[in-house]
Amino acid sequence: MIIEHRAYTLRLGTTETFWDAQRKRGVDGLRPIVERLIGAFAAQSGSTDQIVSLYRYDSFDDWQSRLFGLYGHATLRPYFDAVRGLIVCQESKFLVPAPLPDLAFHWGNGRDWLPEFGPIFSAPRARCVVEELTLSLNAGGVAQCWDVFREHELHADPIASSGLFGVFNSIAGRLNQVLLYRRFPDFEAWRAHRKGLNESPCWRGILHSLAPLTIHANSKLLEPSRVEDMSPLFQTE
């Protein structure tokens, strides 16, 4: 199993145009990759007009077959023409689930969620916020990061683990990164969680232990796509 993290930075002010193009392509146009989509999101912090998507594939061969197999379809040419004109930068990296059974919430350690299994979250996506926390570590730091999570029992702390639904590390693209994904019902819940983290001995201990290993830490807020087949984690409105 591999997870593709794909980011499109769009021309200024074109996020809604991008979502409109997704609606117009219909439910069958991108089916080979939509069947493997974890979720597509619009960045609400950091880069303006950026789309972040996560896909789960069986392997690199599965990724190549499903994605590259779309390009020869004449019926998709209007779609590609529409979205490519909006994109100014494309970035992709590959991730794998954390090798810690207690942090393999939906992927890894025998778990393997796909859209066909139905939504994970019962709350509608309209007000939901997803936080993407990226820890960029020194060379060799990923294994030490897992040791820190294990030592401080991240999974067992009700504050530090609140909202967590995916923990991954990069294996292609920018290396030595650990990514944590948390889901909150709304912005107010996310803000309350941030305040709680500052008061969590577990999380403070993790940060103290990771500080010598960490080059950079970046937190990005993401809004789930309102296009139904691009937000399979969530119940429909």
Structure confidence by residue, pLDDT tens digits, 100-137: 999 999 999 999 999 999 999 987 788 899 999 999 99
Q: How confident is the model at residue 237 (pLDDT cuts 50, 70, 90)?
A: low
Query: Is residue 70 one of the residues assigned to a domain?
Result: yes
pLDDT higher than threshold 70 for residue 148: yes
State residue 27's pLDDT score. 76
Q: How many domains does the chain have?
A: 1
Query: Is residue 102 one of the residues assigned to a domain?
Result: yes
State residue 87's pLDDT score. 97
pLDDT higher than threshold 70 for residue 52: yes
pLDDT higher than threshold 90 for residue 236: no
Q: How many CA atoms lie within 13 A of 211 on its CB side?
A: 6
* Residue-wise pLDDT tens digits, 149-166: 999 999 999 999 999 999
pLDDT higher than threshold 70 for residue 177: yes
Task: Pinpoint the alpha helices (H) of 46-186.
Answer: 60-68, 77-84, 141-151
Q: Which pair of tokens denotes residue 33?
A: 């990759």
Q: Which of 74-78, 117-121, 128-132, 185-189 has the lowest mean pLDDT?
A: 74-78
Nearest Cα to Cα of residue 7 among 115, 90, 113, 119: 90
Cβ–Cβ under 8 Å, residues 128 and 186: yes
Cα→Cα distances 33→39, 64, 106, 165, Å: 11, 10, 19, 21
pLDDT higher than threshold 90 for residue 26: no
State residue 235's pLDDT score. 83
- Residue 105 sits in which domain range? 2-232
CA 165/CA 180 separation, integer angstroms: 8
CA 117/CA 132 separation, integer angstroms: 23
Cβ–Cβ under 8 Å, residues 93 and 3: no
- What is the CATH classification number for the domain harbouring 155? 3.30.70.100
Query: Is residue 237 one of the residues assigned to a domain?
Result: no
Verdict on whether the full-model pTM lies above 0.85: yes
- Please, what is the average pLDDT of the chain? 95
